[in-house]
Structure 1
Amino acid sequence: MNETDSPPAGAQAEQRARWRRILVMLGKIALVVGGIYLAVQALRAVDWSQVGDALGRLTWWEIGVIGLLIAVRQTVNAGTLPILVPGLSLPHALQTALSGTLIQTFTPPPADTVLRLSMLKSFGVETTRGAAALVLDTIVFYLARFVAPLIGLVLTLFVLPLEGIQIWMAVGGLAAAGLLVWAMVMISKGETAAGNVGRVAARVVKRLRPTVDPEAWAAAVVRFQKESSSGIVSRMARATPTMLGFILVDAIVVIVCLRFVGIPGEYVGYLAVLAAMFTLYPLTIFPFAGLGVLDASLIVLINAEGVADPADLVAALVIWRAATLLLPLLPGLVTLGLWRRRPAASAGDPAQTEM
């Protein structure tokens, strides 16, 4: 076969790209189908009238307790920003986080990022520093999300039957967390190392998205390295436990909801809920924080022995979801309104301190 008979290199590249797109789409479909299967298997035998009865058993003071726990949850969630932006106060960080959550719920990206950057700027944080801090904040969130299954696996060894999903989630989380830590360590070594990380990441992504430009990615990572200045790894090391604390508070909200709908501790123990939540937390990567997929998986794990009423379990998770997804919206609306009324930050704001 001579050269004129072989297909052009461009056509071959396009064909490979087409197959990659097909495989990625099939992978996404498989994930969605798997999530639907888990949800159906967990919920098919639920008596929804009993769920309604369980929800109706909540008293006013129990609703108040859940509201207070959500306030603690959101405060812990905002607690990473003051670590990543030295000089930024916790109230300002909380205001930024709540307002960003509100915008993120109702508008597509990057509207929430634009708002957060504007708020940080009004609090005296230089735009480039604020952008770098928001990137670090996202990385910290993912790092905690991938480390969580390791904690869940350790707890599982004490309180739950060991299932394959716990092992695979822990192994996958360890690999992802290791890659993130490696990337941050390399980036912190200087512009040359940062550029190399950007190129390597771009070449990996380019296999799935051929339009990716490795040099553009390298330049973007170098800019991030400059803007984030020194101490990337140390700040992440201090911020990640705070984000793990956020997952812990989330699990505590689930435990409280279980108790309030009438599921006693001898049916579903505290450590069992913690183990399940930490093990499965990477499932929040699905839309609306894994709504449906995470809930169904939690029901399967925490009720492995089948002693708790499925209707009560569903009711507890409905309360948890309503509280965590809806309750932060009202304070977000308030904080956004207050921020719009405040004057611009003065040039001497202490939050302008170098990161």
Structure 2
Amino acid sequence: MVAAIVATVIIRVVGVIDWASVGAALGHLAWWQPLVLVAVLLVRQFLNALPLALYIPGVGPFRATVNDQLGIMMASVAPPPGDMAIRVALFRAWGVPVPQALAGTTLNMLTFYIVRFGAPVIGFALLLVTGQEPGLRWLDLLSVAIAVGILAALLMVISADRTARAVGDRSGRIVRRFRHSVDPAAWAEACATFRHDASARFRWGFPRSLVATVGMLIADLTLLLLCLRFVGLDTTEISVTEVAIAYFFAYPFTVFFFSGLGIVDALIIAALVEQGGPAVESAAVAGLIVWRVFFIGGPIVLGLISLAFLRTTIRGVRVEAERTG
């Protein structure tokens, strides 16, 4: 279904890409511009990891950033739960209690999903300010509804032990309709345990984490804008607001494989072509290529660098875990 929609968008809106023109647009990049993009990427990754420091006692911003890069890298190259395993191993090496680490990591993930699916709210606000009609973008209210649902469920779980157990039991019963091996009682106990480990830092950390994660989106949007400007797409062709609208409505689709590679790109390019006409297509494609190199490749490289420096630490934790059984 999604593949069919993306194919239709590419064929009907974007059309046939002139790869020679895309190459010419990439030729606009100056030697110093990737350095600027790296700096913005570092800010983005710092803000993306900051909720870990806010949710988990004893984990500062630097450690949170290193842990997050390793987790992202593992999620990109290995199946789940490889990313969680390396995160927990590193937290254990730092002396962080595993239950608190797992609760903080889960809160970090839920905060990110709330912001990810809630991103179209900013898009709708920009449409209102600019006086544009939403059109088919009304469908993005479904994404907003998912964000509201996740937020409501999280607040219910955190509110009281009884409510946490009820949410876990009800969720388990729903999932058991599709997977008969699911035990609702185990889900209820897991929610109660999560509430116990997460509630202490939630009231203080959650609003700050929301701000940090929205800041991450702004940094990522800045990265995209710079990529487009560096390949020659200037403000007379596509304004900052138009890029922002395209970005915020496409962002929920990063939930798909490799951060929505292909889907997100097609939606953003289609929106830019719709606003600026066919003349902006080649530069838009070139800018999205550069953005994807940093968006996907950057965190993987940072993760590999972190792994190189922490390999001995992680190996020592694994050896100790195997020795103690």
With the length of structure 1 as denominator, give the TM-score of the two structures. Answer: 0.83
1:20 corresponding residue in structure 2: none
Instruction: Find 1:162's aligned residue among 133, 137, 147.
Output: 133
Q: In the alignment, does 2:281 pair up with 1:310?
A: yes
Q: SS state of the match for residue 119, structure 2?
A: helix
1:200-349 matches, within 5 Å, as 200-307=170-277, 308-342=279-313
Q: Residues 301 and 160 of structure 1: is their aligned pair in 2 closer, same or farther, counting only changes over 3 Å?
A: farther
1:168, 1:33 → 2: CA distance? 17
CA apart distance, 1:195: 0.7
Q: In the alignment, does 2:100 pair up with 1:133?
A: no
2:221, 2:13 → 1: CA distance? 20
2:310, 2:257 → 1: CA distance? 28
For the Cα contact (< 8 Å) 1:156–1:272, is it kept in 2?
Answer: no
Q: SS state of the match for residue 233, structure 2?
A: coil
2:70, 2:233 → 1: CA distance? 35
Q: Residues 40 and 123 of structure 1: is their aligned pair in 2 closer, same or farther, counting only changes over 3 Å?
A: farther
Deviations 1:78-113 (A, max 9, x none): 111111113311111111011112211111110011
Structure with higher helix content:
2
Instruction: Find 2:47's aligned residue among 76, 79, 91.
Output: 76
Q: SS state of the match for residue 262, structure 1?
A: coil
1:170-181 matches, within 5 Å, as 171-181=141-151
Larger radius of gyration, structure 1 or 2?
A: 1
Instruction: Find 1:51's aligned residue among 15, 18, 22.
Output: 22
1:23-34 matches, within 5 Å, as 30-34=1-5
Deviations 1:272-321 (A, max 9, x none): 21122122211111111111111111112233233342111100001000
CA apart distance, 1:231: 4.2
CA apart distance, 1:44: 3.3
1:93, 1:140 → 2: CA distance? 15
Q: Residues 39 and 219 of structure 1: is their aligned pair in 2 closer, same or farther, counting only changes over 3 Å?
A: farther
Q: Percent identity?
A: 30
Q: Residues 320 and 203 of structure 1: is their aligned pair in 2 closer, same or farther, counting only changes over 3 Å?
A: same
2:83 corresponding residue in structure 1: 112
Q: Residues 287 and 39 of structure 1: is their aligned pair in 2 closer, same or farther, counting only changes over 3 Å?
A: farther
For the Cα contact (< 8 Å) 2:52–2:59, is it kept in 1?
Answer: yes
For the Cα contact (< 8 Å) 1:248–1:274, is it kept in 2?
Answer: no
Q: Residues 295 and 243 of structure 1: is their aligned pair in 2 closer, same or farther, counting only changes over 3 Å?
A: same
CA apart distance, 1:43: 4.4
Q: In the alignment, does 2:43 pair up with 1:95?
A: no
Q: SS state of the match for residue 230, structure 1?
A: helix
1:211, 1:86 → 2: CA distance? 35
Aligned-residue CA RMSD (Å):
2.0
1:36, 1:136 → 2: CA distance? 35
1:206, 1:342 → 2: CA distance? 40
Which AA in structure 2 matches 1:340?
R
1:69, 1:36 → 2: CA distance? 32
Q: Residues 66 and 186 of structure 1: is their aligned pair in 2 closer, same or farther, counting only changes over 3 Å?
A: same
CA apart distance, 1:234: 4.2
1:180, 1:324 → 2: CA distance? 25
1:21 corresponding residue in structure 2: none
2:132, 2:199 → 1: CA distance? 46
1:160, 1:96 → 2: CA distance? 43
For the Cα contact (< 8 Å) 2:51–2:205, is it kept in 1?
Answer: no
Deviations 1:189-230 (A, max 9, x none): 222111101122223333443443222211211121122243
Q: Residues 205 and 122 of structure 1: is their aligned pair in 2 closer, same or farther, counting only changes over 3 Å?
A: same
For the Cα contact (< 8 Å) 1:184–1:233, is it kept in 2?
Answer: no
For the Cα contact (< 8 Å) 2:237–2:280, is it kept in 1?
Answer: no
For the Cα contact (< 8 Å) 2:10–2:270, is it kept in 1?
Answer: no
1:186 corresponding residue in structure 2: 156
In structure 1, list runs of 5 or more residues that go unmatched.
1-29, 346-355
Which AA in structure 2 matches 1:78?
A
For the Cα contact (< 8 Å) 1:149–1:278, is it kept in 2?
Answer: yes
Q: In the alignment, does 2:24 pair up with 1:60?
A: no
Q: Which moved more, 1:151-160 or 1:293-302?
A: 151-160
Which AA in structure 2 matches 1:271?
T
With the length of structure 2 as denominator, give the TM-score of the two structures. Answer: 0.90
